[in-house]
Amino acid sequence: MKAEDIRFMWLMVFFDLPVKSKEQRRGATRFRNFLRDDGFMMLQYSVYARICRGQDAVEKHTKRVRLQLPKEGSVRTLQITDKQYGRMELMLGLAPKTERVGASQMVLL
């Protein structure tokens, strides 16, 4: 496969996890730490994103997320193209230093 045939994709993870008990807080923390250690960056407290090089990498990291799911809560994933991600508009607040949002910019972590 040629380099120009590789399509960069973003894998986004959205979650809402219960944190009322000590065990639930530990589970939520473990899940967030897993995402960070697997190369995801935090966009918002319960929204993480990771750049992937092609569909195979998206599937690999989706499977890894599935294996780390906490016991309860809600977790969703969404894959979008790099071009779609670049059209994201930050309306309020500041983007983390590791994130560059723009049509002609891409983050490689």
| pLDDT tens, residue by residue, 74-107 | 999 999 999 999 999 989 988 877 675 444 444 5
16 known ligand binder: yes
pLDDT recorded at residue 94: 83
Helices and strands (H, E) in the chain, number of each type: 3, 4
Counted domains in the chain: 1
Q: What is the pLDDT of residue 102?
A: 46
Contacts of 91 (CB under 8 A, 6+ apart): none
Structural domain includes residue 78: yes
Q: Which two tokens stand for residue 107?
A: 């983050």
Evaluate whether residue 31 is within a structural domain: yes
pLDDT greater than 80 at residue 53: yes
Backbone angles phi, psi at 25, to 5 degrees: -60, -40
Question: Given the structure tokens 């990498």, which residue do they identify?
Answer: 57
- State the amino acid at position 53 in one-letter form: R
Q: DSSP character for 91?
A: -
pLDDT value at residue 5: 59
In a domain, 95, yes or no: no
The answer as to whether 56 is a domain residue is: yes
Task: Tell whether the model's pLDDT for residue 45 goes beyond 80.
Answer: yes
- Residue 62 sits in which domain range? 3-86
Q: Residue 82: how many CB atoms within 10 A of its CB?
A: 16
